[in-house]
């Protein structure tokens, strides 16, 4: 536009006749006005397009945010599929503690220690946690526990920084055979007559030994990333006679075929060599025969499907159990089922009823979305706390009442 004005002024400066100047003036004036109008129109059009583009970009960003939120929500309501995660928890609960019966600040009544600890809450995760605070102490169950040949152990863990050594954020977990299960000092360095100890310290490691040297010591480690402080992890252990498998989250960390020595009976679990918070410790035996229970008996009661407190989101550690049920349904394509959710008596009846129905629906969604089971084959319902199979008077009994049932139709 500046160029047009320059040309216009230049022509006016040329010596021509007044008449010619007048003619040129009129002609150039009209042409210049047209070009100026076109330039103005282009400028306005450009500004409008720019505004529209900015609006579209903003909407696009908003849509991306919304899509991200949606994806995040979907991720929170769906299982994380892992082909390596084949863990299925035991059916019969022989010990359970979620510390909900304890007062904050107290040492939990079912435990003993040579160190110190207390029940706490944390912003890292919901619920109550047993905070083991002395890295040089040993912490175990107050009463010995008889462990069979086949069983599972599960617990949540949050490694914490040792106040005496900030570089140490690990801990160890052991399964022991000991003739003095009430004596926590006995064999403090290599406790018991035999043990398998898993270390989550500077590296993830294991050592299996017996103190009479009747079997060779077995040890090793994995190059998996160490557990970080102030983060929640799910530890799952599966013992089948001499074989033991350990999972962190959905990853199988160790699969050791010959480390539980046959000549020993294991009767103690123990935390030491570091500090950590633990919660939801569950020991169970008797792996469910899903095919027989569902197809032959017509009803499968499952304790291997997990939810957070007062939530209906199926947790990733439920994958092995739901996959097993999906396999049975795929092998029997004409079978239809009803999924029924159950809760314990904590909370009010109405809320528990609604929660149980939503949990059953979430399990159905997991079977459909992750394993392609036809939705028409599945009905859902919930009974809340209305159909207990044990009194709601202890942690173990409440854990028995929190279940998901699969009923053949």
Q: What is the pLDDT of residues 370-387, one digit of tens each?
A: 999 999 999 999 999 999
- How confident is the model at residue 31, as a pLDDT? 56
- How confident is the model at residue 25, as a pLDDT? 47
- How confident is the model at residue 38, as a pLDDT? 54
Structure tokens that stand for 390 in this block: 């044990």
Q: Read off the pLDDT of residues 218-264 as tens digits, 9 standing for 90 and up.
A: 999 887 778 888 999 999 999 999 999 999 988 899 999 999 999 99
Closest CA to 168 of 279, 273, 271: 273
| Residues sharing a CB contact under 8 Å with residue 231, sequence separation 6 or more, in sequence order | 124, 158, 159
The CATH topology of domain 289-408 is 60s Ribosomal Protein L30; Chain: A; (3.30.1330)
Over residues 284-297, mean pLDDT: 88
Residue 164 binned pLDDT confidence (cut-offs 50, 70, 90): low
Q: Read off the pLDDT of residues 75-110 as tens digits, 9 standing for 90 and up.
A: 444 555 555 578 989 988 999 999 998 999 999 999
- The span from the CA of 378 to the CA of 297, in Å, is 18
Residue 30 binned pLDDT confidence (cut-offs 50, 70, 90): low
User: How confident is the prediction for the chain on average, in pLDDT?
Assistant: 82
Over residues 379-401, mean pLDDT: 93
- Domain spans, the chain: 2-73, 92-285, 289-408
Who has greater pLDDT, 53 or 179?
A: 179
Domain 92-285 has CATH 3.60.15.10: no
Count of positions (residues) in the chain: 409
- How confident is the model at residue 13, as a pLDDT? 44
> Do the domains at 92-285 and 289-408 have one common CATH topology?
no
Residue 10 binned pLDDT confidence (cut-offs 50, 70, 90): very low
Q: Read off the pLDDT of residues 61-81 as tens digits, 9 standing for 90 and up.
A: 444 434 334 333 334 445 555
Over residues 41-68, mean pLDDT: 44
- How confident is the model at residue 47, as a pLDDT? 46
Q: Match 């009747």 to its residue by tokens.
A: 214
User: For 171, what's the count of Cα atoms within 13 Å in the CB-facing half-sphere?
Assistant: 30
Does the structure show a pLDDT above 60 at 44?
no
């Amino acid at each position: 536009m500046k160029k047009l004005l320059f040309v216009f002024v230049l022509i006016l400066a040329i010596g021509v006749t007044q008449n010619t100047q007048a003619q040129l003036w009129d002609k150039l004036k009209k042409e210049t006005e047209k070009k100026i109008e076109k330039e103005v129109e282009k400028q306005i059009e450009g500004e409008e397009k720019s505004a529209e583009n900015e609006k579209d970009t903003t909407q696009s960003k908003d849509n991306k945010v919304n899509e991200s939120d949606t994806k995040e929500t979907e991720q929170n309501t769906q299982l994380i599929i892992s082909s390596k995660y084949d863990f299925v928890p035991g059916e019969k609960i022989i010990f359970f503690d979620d510390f909900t019966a304890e007062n904050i600040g107290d040492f939990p009544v079912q435990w003993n220690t040579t160190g110190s600890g207390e029940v706490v809450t944390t912003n890292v995760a919901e619920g109550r946690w047993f905070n083991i605070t002395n890295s040089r102490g040993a912490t175990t169950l107050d009463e010995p526990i008889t462990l069979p040949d086949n069983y599972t152990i599960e617990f949540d863990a949050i490694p914490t920084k040792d106040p005496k050594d900030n570089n140490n954020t690990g801990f160890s977990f052991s399964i022991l055979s000991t003739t003095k299960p009430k004596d926590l000092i006995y064999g403090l360095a290599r406790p018991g007559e035999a043990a398998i100890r898993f270390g989550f310290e500077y590296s993830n490691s294991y050592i299996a030994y017996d103190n009479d040297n009747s079997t060779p010591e077995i040890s090793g480690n994995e190059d998996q990333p160490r557990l970080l402080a102030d983060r929640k992890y799910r530890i799952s252990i599966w013992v089948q006679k001499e074989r033991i498998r350990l999972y962190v989250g959905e990853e199988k960390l160790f699969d050791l075929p010959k480390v539980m020595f046959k000549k020993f009976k294991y009767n103690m679990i123990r935390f030491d060599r570091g500090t950590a918070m633990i919660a939801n410790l569950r020991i169970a035996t008797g792996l469910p025969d899903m095919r027989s229970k569902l197809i032959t008996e017509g009803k499968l009661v499952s304790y291997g499907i997990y939810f957070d407190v007062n939530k209906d989101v199926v947790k990733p550690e439920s994958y092995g159990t739901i996959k097993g049920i999906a396999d049975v349904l795929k092998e029997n394509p004409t079978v239809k089922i009803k999924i029924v959710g159950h809760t314990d008596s904590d909370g009010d009846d109405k809320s528990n009823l609604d929660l149980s129905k939503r949990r059953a629906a979430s399990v159905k969604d997991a079977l459909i979305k992750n394993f392609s089971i036809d939705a028409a084959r599945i009905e859902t319902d919930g009974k809340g706390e209305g159909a207990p199979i044990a009194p709601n008077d202890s942690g173990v009994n409440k854990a028995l009442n929190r279940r998901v049932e699969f009923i053949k139709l």
